[in-house]
Every structure is written in C-alpha cells, then in structure tokens.
C-alpha cells in the first residue's frame, strides 16, 4: 500500500461507551449462535434459488436487529443502557441506530452508535456481496460499523434462514478505503477523482447529501464494496461454510449448472466439468464435503443419461 492508504481510527480512550462498543462487536460476532427467526421457506424450485436474495434480504436484516436486542445480556451485561435499543431506520445512513427509546427527559445521548447492516445470501448468483457503500467518511462516527451478515436456508432450498459469522469493519475506514481503492489501486484510465460533499456530520437526515460521487464511472462500479479487495480473506472463509455438510461455493457451482434454461447437452457438459474439478480436489485433499458433492453429481449424471 502507498503512504496514502487510510488507517483505522478508533474512538478516544476516554469515550464513555468504549466498553459498550467492544461488547456490541462481540454480540455481532456471536450472532450465528443467537439468531432467531420465525421465517420458514418451502416449495421453492432449485432453479429459483437465486431469487431468495431479493425476496428475503430485508426480512433477514430486520430479524438480525431483533436478535441483537435479544442479546442485551452480551452487550449490556450491567444494565447500564436499559433506555437504549437497536432500531432500524429507512432511506438514510446508517441502517441501524443504538438510540434512546425512553420518552422521559434525560441528559443521556440520543444516539450512541450506528450500524450499516447488509445481508448477504451465500448462494447469490454474484458469489459476493453486491451492495453499494457510497457514504462519505465524514458521515460516519468513529464508533459506527459496517456489518455484512451472510445467510442461507437451513436445508439449502427449504427451511429457516441461518446466519453465519458476520464481517465487521469500521464504517469510516470502509468509506476511506473505498475511496483509496478507487483513486489509487484499481486498474483504470478514467478520471479517478471523487466529488466529496461538504458540511456532512454523523447521523444525517434523510434529505442530506452524504454520498461520495466519482467524476467518471461509466460502469457504475463505484461503491461496490466487495470489489475493493478489502473483504477477500473474509469472503474466502464464508464461501466454505457448510450447508447440509457441503461447502457453500460447491452448492453455488451446482445451482449455476441449471440456470438460464440450458439444454440437456449443456447441462451434461457442466456436470462433467464440475465433476472433474471436484474429483481433482478429492485427490488433493479428501473430505466428506467433496465426497458428498461428487455423489450428487454422479446421480445427476445418471439421470441426465436417461
């Protein structure tokens, strides 16, 4: 990285809610063990699996917020923040605020911190989070977080949503790194400058202009956060999460075979190609996961032959 690379800036050591911030991060990190949902999906066709991302995304994010409030014993073990709760807000940054909910007057802060919350369906066709993060750094308080929560159905094409270990990053650092990547790291010949809005501060109103805008972006890629590379190591770990004993990335390759109404010959060729890749991986590093996928592909190949 160049000398212009941003550095993570944390709240000062005398910020009164520093312990709370650490506890909130711990709660988010353990979300997969505490997530609760009443949502149940069944009857979906395997060829429609990619549509779940848009159909359930907002529901999952709402349920994440509910789960965080139910995890108060983790982030507020001494009951110091009984007048506060996580609440979603629409059409402005950040998606979620830890704010006062009591109506009685108080000298306490109205808002303590914010979370920009993004759900990521592990079997989404893009194979990476597709959200755009365009907020300008000065709209982010030092304690604000960007959180990406991966999820999938418990039985892959049916069942209840299940969440996995989230990605947690400083929202301000995420915004600064996005701009740094746009200006200095990406391979582009177009104008790399970015228009930065002025007069911005944390917890803006809905009408405030808080988005950074590139001078040139013909492909509409500015803000595609996963493409900055900052999440690469995390995404690699998420893609090998097990769904019914098989890695998520293997399921994704499997479902992609049947997309776009392909003819039988094309499907057979895709199955053969995926079988060869799985077989090579099995020879290099045997695992129950790969063996299960190989068995599924072999049965599919027999059905295709018939």
> DSSP secondary structure string, 100-117?
E---S--SS-SEEEEEEE
Cα separation of 251 and 147, whole Å?
24
Is residue 136 located within the same domain as residue 281? no
Is residue 226 located within the same domain as residue 284? no
Q: Which residue in 84, 79, 68, 80 sits closest to 34, CA to CA?
A: 68
Summarised one tens digit per residue, pLDDT across range 70-102 is: 999 999 999 999 999 999 998 889 999 999 986
Summarised one tens digit per residue, pLDDT across range 235-263 is: 999 999 998 888 898 888 888 877 765 67
Is residue 200 located within the same domain as residue 273? no
The DSSP code for 11 is P
The neighbouring-strand residues paired with 246 are 243
pTM (predicted TM-score): 0.87
Summarised one tens digit per residue, pLDDT across range 189-239 is: 889 999 999 999 999 998 999 999 999 998 889 999 999 999 999 999 999
Q: Is residue 193 part of a domain?
A: yes
**Token pair of 16, please?**
């009164």
Is residue 25 located within the same domain as residue 143? yes
Q: Is residue 10 part of a domain?
A: no
- Among 194, 213, 241, where does a domain finish? 241
Is residue 135 located within the same domain as residue 98? yes
**H/E run at residue 174:** helix 171-180
Is residue 206 located within the same domain as residue 110? yes
Is residue 184 located within the same domain as residue 292? no
Is residue 91 located within the same domain as residue 235? yes
The DSSP code for 166 is P
Is residue 132 located within the same domain as residue 159? yes
The DSSP code for 184 is I
Q: Is residue 7 part of a domain?
A: no
Mean pLDDT in the chain?
89
- Residue 130, judged by CB atoms within 10 A of its CB (0-12, 13-18, 19+), counts as middle
Is residue 70 located within the same domain as residue 152? yes
Domain of residue 194 covers: 18-241
- Name the residue with higher pLDDT: 67 or 103: 67
């Amino acid at each position: 990285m160049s000398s212009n690379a941003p550095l993570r800036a944390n709240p000062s050591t005398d910020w009164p809610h520093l312990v709370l911030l650490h506890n909130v991060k711990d709660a988010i990190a353990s979300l997969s063990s505490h997530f609760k949902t009443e949502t149940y999906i069944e009857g979906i066709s395997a060829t429609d699996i990619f549509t779940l991302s848009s159909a359930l995304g907002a529901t999952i994010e709402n349920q994440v917020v509910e789960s965080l409030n139910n995890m108060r014993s983790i982030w507020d073990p001494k009951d110091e923040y009984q007048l506060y709760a996580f609440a979603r807000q629409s059409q402005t940054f950040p998606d979620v605020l830890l704010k006062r909910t009591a109506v009685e007057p108080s000298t306490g802060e109205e808002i303590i911190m914010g979370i920009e919350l993004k759900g990521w369906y592990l079997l989404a066709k893009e194979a990476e989070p597709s959200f755009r993060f365009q907020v300008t750094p000065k709209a982010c308080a030092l304690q604000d977080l960007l959180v990406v929560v991966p999820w999938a159905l418990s039985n892959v094409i049916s069942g209840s949503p299940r969440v996995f270990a989230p990605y947690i990053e400083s929202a301000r650092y995420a915004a600064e790194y996005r701009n740094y990547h746009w200006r200095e790291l990406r391979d582009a010949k177009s104008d790399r400058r970015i228009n930065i809005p002025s007069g911005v501060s944390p917890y803006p109103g809905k009408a405030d202009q808080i988005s950074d805008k590139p001078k040139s972006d013909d492909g509409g890629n500015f803000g595609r956060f996963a493409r900055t590379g900052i999440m690469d190591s995390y995404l690699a770990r998420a893609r090998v999460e097990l769904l019914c004993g098989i890695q998520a990335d293997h399921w994704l390759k499997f479902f992609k075979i049947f997309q776009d109404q392909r003819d039988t010959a094309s499907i057979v060729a895709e199955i053969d190609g995926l079988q060869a890749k799985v077989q090579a991986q099995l020879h290099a590093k045997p695992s129950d996961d790969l063996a299960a996928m190989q068995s599924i592909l072999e049965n599919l190949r027999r059905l295709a032959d018939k």
